[in-house]
Amino acid sequence: MNVLRKIAVGWLIGISPSFALVLIENNRSDYVIVIAEQPSPSVRHAAEELQHFLREMTGVTLAIRSDSEPTAAHEILLGDTRRLQQLGVTIPFQELGDEGYVLRTTGDRLIIAGSAVRGALYGVYGLLEDHLGCRWYTPAVSRIPKLKRLVLRDLNEKRVPLLEYREPFVFDCFDGDWCCRNRMNSSAGRLEEKHGGKIRFGEGMFVHTFNALAPPDRYFDQHPEYFSEINGKRLRDHTQLCCTNPDVIALVTDQVLQAIRRDSQAFVFSVSQNDWYNYCECAACSALAEKEGTQAAPLLYLVNQVAEAVEKEFPDKAIETLAYQYTRKPPKTMRPRPNVIIRLCTIECSFSEPLDSSYPANRAFKEDIEGWARVCDRLWIWDYTTSFAHYLTPFPNLRILDDNIRFFIKNHVRGIFEEDAYQSPGAELAPLIGYMMAKFLWNPDYGEDRAMDEFLHAVYGAACRPIRRYIDLIHDQAARDSAHITIGAGPFEPFLNERVVAEADRLWRQAEAAVKNDAEKRRQVRVAAMCNDYVHLERARAIGKDVYRIDHRRCLLRPNPDFTARLRRFKETAAQIGLTHVREGGENYTGWVRQLDSLQQSSGARLTVRQPVALRQPAPGLAFVYLEGSFDRIPDFSLVAPVKSGWIESFTLNAADREVNFALKFSGYIQAPTDGVYQFSMRSNDGGRLYIGEELVVDNEHLYGEREGCGFIALKAGFYPITVAFFQQLGRRLLEVGWQGPGIPWQIIPSATLWHEK
């Protein structure tokens, strides 16, 4: 194309005349794509992707040629080709690294230059997204503009990603093409050789590796000194390593070197604590921790020595460890070696407000990240973006995702792992949050409204407005309530009040109605609306809300058709998408829905009325027994010597002397004020059970995370034996025992109804 024609076309589309490059018009193109004679798989794929999407946009197929072929008049030079030298074009490949790229126009040529790893490929996607308007929202939904004329402004752009590691750890975002097109190098993404690979951890060396590196079953009997000393005793179960023990250091070093030799293509190998507490209290570990002011010191002592040995044989590998829970605080004087990655975890924080906020847990995290930023050459983040106890519960964090990523980068973070619902599709707005995270991890200034609105419009069509109003409803109420949302949040959070839940229900009905004539969009809306149905169903499962229409006089549970319809709709959608997990651990979707089915099947049942017992001298309060230990289920209280026992006013944890690793049993009598059907419920972290007499009414025994359970029983007015057994292992301790009944709205059981025999 001659210069005058380029000028004319440029003026026609509003581009400065000297800056217009016409690639395709009138269903034809003079351009060819040129790659090296022996390209890497990712450069070959980059050429094919560019060819594919230009054809999809314009209907025109550009030929792919080798740089060993004669020079054409109009070329797109992709990767590191001979043409660059022939043109006298210098590209700073070393500065670009594995993933950076240059987009440049020179004469009648377009240059897309980047490494043979992922740089050239990312350059293609940078051109398609940033300059030609393409988007890849989900693996199935994209926006590829249709153009009759494809014109580029003059380009001279250099892009190097701010983050070396970018991972939206979301089930819906593991598709390899989606990851690559959004320029994510996710360790869990199905990224192949053609995608340029990924940031890969060694096989079995992702995280929490102490037990894998030194299995207690293999070593404890002969070498108990390898493991945590707690109160003067070496611990076999739920143990950590004795990080200052020279033999442990030698063993772990050998295991890591072997792992690298077995999997030499991997980049990162984790030497990190198990996912519980019980750090070693031996004299050497304790002295080092005290000197450095943190339990991270013994861990770093081990990791640095492993990393030093690795560097001698494998200078291109990195050793990763966690700054997590008890190791989160940075040391005073110790420094990680250059080949050590510190992955700082946000698990204790509130996620409904920026991490750079005044909330105490967030303020403490800010101090720690600033401390690590001062001493660490390579700082990564493990961030949390969902409720791991309730994947489908509303989690109002969409407005702070980009704020947090900018906060991380400001503190010299080089890699970010955003952990969301990774085990199953169906989590609350998971495809949206995955897309937003991808946009911000590549470009922190992309803009939350821009990312959210373009996704909603593309994926949900005419339903985008009510869905956006739903998102704003949830976030606005959480902000008004100054809600502090943690990773154990559930459908009983205060911001999910009756008004909000009712309005959310109305908005999702409106969203579905807006796309009633579009089968695919309607399906997408119904999947997204599962989060709303989950709130109602989980409240029904947990406290019996709205499952039945209760006839207290006849002690009869009548079916509620609204509940029946909601459960049927949820199950149908869950089957369509293959939902398997509603939470991270424990019995999952099948067990959860089985409980709902059981409640539904009880409709029409007449409950057997229990008879009260006589108390000679009732006195307020309950008896309690308190145990300490690392329990993973309710212990047999008769077999363990109690730390203490006594009397307490109600089902509270005031009798516990620690935050974790204990168990409590309460026993006494509850007074039913009138005849009828009573619903008992328990919300706990970790698990518990409630008995009326010998009958198990609430079975909420589980490990890991906050959970709710409920049960029904018919009582005559009077006193009934009640027992609540509970254990707490890790996380935020929680026990709430509630009830509702004839004339009694749901409430925490008041102390005025609890008695013991004097």
Residue 585 banded pLDDT, cuts 50, 70, 90? confident
| Residues pairing with 385 in the sheet | none
Which of 182, 170, 176, 172 has the alpha carbon at shortest distance from 130? 182
CATH code for the part of the protein at 3-160? 3.30.379.10
Question: How buried is 571 (Cβ within 10 angstroms: 0-12 exposed, 13-18 middle, 19+ buried)?
Answer: middle
Does residue 1 have a pLDDT over 80?
A: no
* Residues 498, 502, 503, 508, CA torsion sign: positive
pTM of the model: 0.88
| Average pLDDT estimate for 648-677 | 94
DSSP state of 649: S
Report the alpha-carbon distance of residue 211 to residue 233 in Å, rounded: 18
Question: Worst-scoring range by mean pLDDT, 83-87, 206-210, 429-433?
Answer: 83-87
Does residue 16 have a pLDDT over 60?
A: no
Tell me the pLDDT tens digit for each residue of 335-365. 999 999 999 999 999 999 999 999 999 999 9
Residue reference for tokens 């026993």:
667
Q: What does the angle CA 272 – CA 275 – CA 277 come to, to the nearest 5 degrees? A: 100
Which of 462, 482, 466 has the alpha carbon at shortest distance from 396? 482
Confidence (pLDDT) at 659: 87
Residue 294 banded pLDDT, cuts 50, 70, 90? very high
| Average pLDDT estimate for 60-64 | 98
Tell me the pLDDT tens digit for each residue of 651-663. 999 999 998 889 9
Measured CA distances, 230 to 42, 92, 217, 278, 324 (Å): 52, 55, 18, 7, 19
Residue 557 banded pLDDT, cuts 50, 70, 90? confident
| Residues pairing with 413 in the sheet | 379
Which of 331, 339, 364 has the alpha carbon at shortest distance from 350? 364
Residue ranges, comma separated, of all CATH 2.60.120.1560 domains in the chain are 609-757
**Structure token digits, residue 458:** 């593309």
Measured CA distances, 394 to 540, 576, 735 (Å): 16, 22, 22
Report the alpha-carbon distance of residue 728 to residue 634 in Å, rounded: 9
For residues 757 and 460, the model is more confident at: 460
Report the alpha-carbon distance of residue 343 to residue 372 in Å, rounded: 10
Residue 548 banded pLDDT, cuts 50, 70, 90? confident
DSSP state of 241: B
Question: How buried is 288 (Cβ within 10 angstroms: 0-12 exposed, 13-18 middle, 19+ buried)?
Answer: buried
Architecture of domain 609-757: Sandwich (2.60)
Report the alpha-carbon distance of residue 682 to residue 738 in Å, rounded: 6
For residues 300 and 659, the model is more confident at: 300
Report the alpha-carbon distance of residue 491 to residue 541 in Å, rounded: 11
Tell me the pLDDT tens digit for each residue of 372-420. 999 999 999 999 999 999 999 999 999 999 999 999 999 999 999 999 9
| Average pLDDT estimate for 178-184 | 98
For the beta carbon of residue 88, count every other beta carbon within 10 angstroms.
7
Confidence (pLDDT) at 541: 84
Tell me the pLDDT tens digit for each residue of 705-732. 677 888 899 999 999 999 999 999 877 7
Percent of the chain topping pLDDT 90: 86
| Average pLDDT estimate for 633-652 | 92
Count of all residues that appear for the chain in the document: 758
3-state DSSP helix/strand/coil % of the chain, to nearest 5: 35, 25, 40
Helix (H, G, I), strand (E, B) or coil at 621: coil
Which of 477, 476, 489 has the alpha carbon at shortest distance from 531? 489
DSSP state of 101: E
Question: Worst-scoring range by mean pLDDT, 277-281, 381-385, 635-639?
Answer: 635-639
Exposure letters 426-461 (e unless 16+ CB within 10 A, then b): bbbbbbbbbbbbbbbbbbbeeebeebbebbbbbbbb
Round the average pLDDT of the chain to a whole number and report it.
94
Percent of the chain topping pLDDT 70: 97
Residue ranges, comma separated, of all CATH 3.30.379.10 domains in the chain are 3-160
Question: Worst-scoring range by mean pLDDT, 298-302, 434-438, 735-739?
Answer: 735-739
Report the alpha-carbon distance of residue 656 to residue 520 in Å, rounded: 53
Measured CA distances, 437 to 397, 447, 449, 474, 634 (Å): 11, 11, 13, 19, 39
Tell me the pLDDT tens digit for each residue of 472-516. 999 999 999 999 999 989 998 999 999 999 999 999 999 999 999
Confidence (pLDDT) at 19: 57
Does residue 587 have a pLDDT over 80?
A: no
**Structure token digits, residue 398:** 């969409």
Does residue 17 have a pLDDT over 80?
A: no
Does residue 7 have a pLDDT over 70?
A: no
